[in-house]
């Protein structure tokens, strides 16, 4: 049902423009900037009614104020980061739900990259917006949390249905894959995936969204067997 449009901005960010055709509601996930988002919505004849923020970082919230001023949209984001996102209208946490027209998404607490990071899982649509928690073959840096928290995030996300589409916020896949091959050099699924990624990037094509099943097979952070192993892999990736 949902129409989801990828808008590349800055050097490697993706903003997701999400349209629910029955209600004609349109939502933006993590707008780093406003201009390209407003232009894309206008070109499609869509009126932005909501913004969903996963965390406070400026490359996820920088467009909030301008989009809100232009459209009067309603902004939802993590309760735990309310002091760092002054444009929020609704504060949400684990157990809350958000709606875009008839589509309902559950809020999941996924702290580690930031202390209050959340994700939005629309089960009926088989979609999850994960911000900077889960990437294609990677995970977010541990800026405000612990490896134990990120390990728990990976375990929880891995339990979503395998065909769930994972919408992350950056084009990091090639760099993540280069490290993943070092972490798991005998992973044949990973080698095959990297061949596809390199071919796509050579043509300038995006490599996300991904799926939970693909990450379970090839992501060294989701595949970590303990918080300690995830911590070791995160440190190695940070210095890779």
What pLDDT, on a 0 to 100 scale, did the predictor assign at position 79? 98
> CA-CA distance, 120 to 140, in Å (whole number)?
16
Compute the average pLDDT of residues 130-152: 98
Q: Does residue 50 have a pLDDT over 90?
A: yes
Annotation marks residue 59 as catalytic: yes
Which residue among the candidates 19, 30, 57, 152 is catalytic per the annotation?
Answer: 57
Over residues 14-23, the pLDDT tens digits come to: 999 999 999 9
Angle of CA points 207, 208, 209, to nearest 5°? 150
Banded pLDDT at 165 (limits 50, 70, 90):
very high
Annotation marks residue 19 as catalytic: no
Biggest alpha carbon distance in the chain?
Answer: 52
Which residue among the candidates 19, 30, 60, 152 is catalytic per the annotation?
Answer: 60
Q: Say what percent of the chain tops pLDDT 70.
A: 100
Banded pLDDT at 9 (limits 50, 70, 90):
very high
Which residue among the candidates 19, 30, 59, 109 is catalytic per the annotation?
Answer: 59
Q: Say what percent of the chain tops pLDDT 90.
A: 100
Which residue among the candidates 19, 30, 121, 132 is catalytic per the annotation?
Answer: 132
Average pLDDT, the chain: 98
Which residue among the candidates 19, 55, 117, 121 is catalytic per the annotation?
Answer: 55
State the alpha helices, DSSP H only, in the chain. 35-44, 58-61, 64-71, 147-158, 173-183, 188-202, 212-218, 227-238
Which residue among the candidates 19, 113, 117, 121 is catalytic per the annotation?
Answer: 113
Annotation marks residue 57 as catalytic: yes
What pLDDT, on a 0 to 100 scale, did the predictor assign at position 1? 87
What pLDDT, on a 0 to 100 scale, did the predictor assign at position 35? 98
Annotation marks residue 170 as catalytic: yes
Over residues 87-140, the pLDDT tens digits come to: 999 999 999 999 999 999 999 999 999 999 999 999 999 999 999 999 999 999
Q: Does residue 218 have a pLDDT over 90?
A: yes
Annotation marks residue 55 as catalytic: yes
What pLDDT, on a 0 to 100 scale, did the predictor assign at position 147? 98
């Amino acid at each position: 049902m949902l129409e989801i449009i990828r808008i590349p901005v800055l050097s490697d960010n993706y903003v997701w423009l999400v349209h629910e055709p029955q209600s004609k509601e349109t939502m933006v996930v993590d707008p780093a900037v406003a201009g390209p988002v407003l232009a894309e919505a206008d070109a499609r004849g869509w009126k932005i009614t909501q913004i969903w923020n996963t965390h406070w970082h400026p490359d996820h919230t920088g467009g909030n104020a301008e989009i809100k001023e232009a459209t009067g949209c309603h902004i939802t984001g993590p309760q735990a980061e309310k002091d760092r996102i002054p444009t929020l209208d609704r504060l949400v946490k684990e157990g809350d739900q958000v709606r875009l027209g008839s589509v309902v998404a559950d809020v999941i607490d996924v702290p580690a990259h930031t202390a209050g990071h959340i994700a939005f899982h629309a089960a009926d649509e088989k979609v999850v917006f994960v911000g900077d928690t889960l990437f294609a073959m990677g995970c977010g840096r541990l800026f405000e949390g612990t490896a134990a928290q990120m390990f728990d995030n990976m375990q929880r996300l891995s339990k979503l249905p395998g065909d769930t589409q994972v919408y992350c916020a950056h084009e990091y896949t090639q760099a993540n894959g280069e490290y993943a091959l070092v972490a798991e050099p005998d992973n044949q699924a990973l080698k095959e995936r990297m061949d596809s990624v390199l071919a796509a990037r050579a043509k300038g094509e995006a490599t996300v969204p991904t799926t939970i099943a693909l990450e379970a097979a090839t992501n060294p952070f989701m595949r970590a067997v303990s918080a300690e192993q995830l911590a070791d892999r995160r440190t190695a990736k940070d210095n890779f």
